[in-house]
Structure 1
Amino acid sequence: MVIAMGVLGLLLLALPTTMVLAIGMAPTMTAFLGDRTPGRFLTKCVAGMNFAGVIPSLYHLWTTGHDLSTAMKVVTDIYAWFLMYGAAAMGWMLFMGLPGAVAMFRALNAKRRIYVLQEKQKDLINEWGDCILPAAESQSTSGERKTDDQEQAAPS
């Protein structure tokens, strides 16, 4: 009820702004209706970029006269449409492209970290010997595990 009253008030008091916002933010409404992900991240990506694309048109509307004829000029300008909808498309591309890029970056970072830890492990084994390895890794080449007595009896 409160939202309906706010929309009605915006329609009555700022009809030109409402007209530009309704047409310019259509991709956001489409994303909102189609987004089923928890957290609605698609809607957030598209809405942020879409609003950034609508702001120059709103600025033009507010600085040149806040009337319906100026709003019609803004709404019928092909470059304004390109800016508003192109920015929304960039938000859609961010939503689709960034998760894969982040996953690739994290996988490469994990591989690098594994390599660094393996090098540190080799240095520790060279310094301390096989006694620091877990039992499963300290087996000899014949497949037999050394016992504590065998390790103590072995010459250092």
Structure 2
Amino acid sequence: MCIASAVLCGAVVAADRIIVAGVELSERMRLGSYELVLASCGVRDTLWIDHYVAALYLPPGLSMVAAMQDPTLPKVILLHIVGTALLPDRIPEPWRETLRDELRREPMARVRNVYRNLAAGDRVRVAYVPNDGVTMAVNERVVARMPDHALFDSMLRAWAENDPISGKLERLLLQHPC
């Protein structure tokens, strides 16, 4: 049983895709001129209730931990919303604080609005392209843009809480390769 963590549960592997909690993930993805591969995936759940399937795409053949922190490398985090039964009314802290620190008022208002309206089947994509910045989109509709890597860095710090980022990343990413 997976309890309140992003873990790989019940994955089915096919030739060019993997299915996690009923969500089909491609093993490869194009981001502009970059080819990325599925590096890690898992289910965020509480007890038996699935919230979302997370997938991390990075350039092939590199250290996942280093690639996540490197502003010269592209990366994509995909969240496939599976259920919203336990979704809080507001973006949880520290994510709300992180987003508020990195986004201007108007993009933050769009992010809050999109969050309130998330439904099962929605796809949230946070993509970083070097020299282009971060794009946050829901169901392919752009919600916010950032000109640099700062949003990824802030998200990693918020997620790691008081742990060193590299140690926490390494534990999670290496435990849940796809």
Higher helix residue share: 1
TM-score band (shorter)?
under 0.3
Q: Which has the higher strand share?
A: 2
In the superposition, the TM-score normalised over structure 2's length comes to 0.19
> Which has the greater radius of gyration?
1
